[in-house]
Amino acid sequence: MFANKNHRLDFADTCAVSLESVLSLAGYGPTEGRDAHEQLAQADAADSQLLRTVMCAALATLVLALVSSMA
């Protein structure tokens, strides 16, 4: 009765495991694990690019506000 090997992944303990073991729980192989690392790296690069864009827009707004207050 308790020897059921079908584990529900929504109740899997993923707090203390690495990305590779989470991917192995989902049935992915090692090549998909490397793809996941590349996807995470691309997402980090996109986040930093977006942050730089927002910071440039904020700085431009601040400079325009300072220039307009001087005039």
Q: Where are the domains of the chain?
A: 9-70
Residue 23 CB partners (closer than 8 Å, separation 6+): 32, 33, 36
Name residue 43's amino acid. Answer: A
Mean pLDDT in each 10-residue stretch from start to end of the chain (71 residues)? 61 57 54 76 95 98 96 78
* pLDDT, position 36: 85
Quickly list H helices, the chain.
Answer: 19-25, 30-70
> The tokens of 12 are what?
């899997």
- b/e code 12-24 from CB counts within 10 Å (16+ = b): eeeeeeeeeebbe
- Measured between alpha carbons, how far is 33 from 19 in angstroms, rounded to an integer? 8
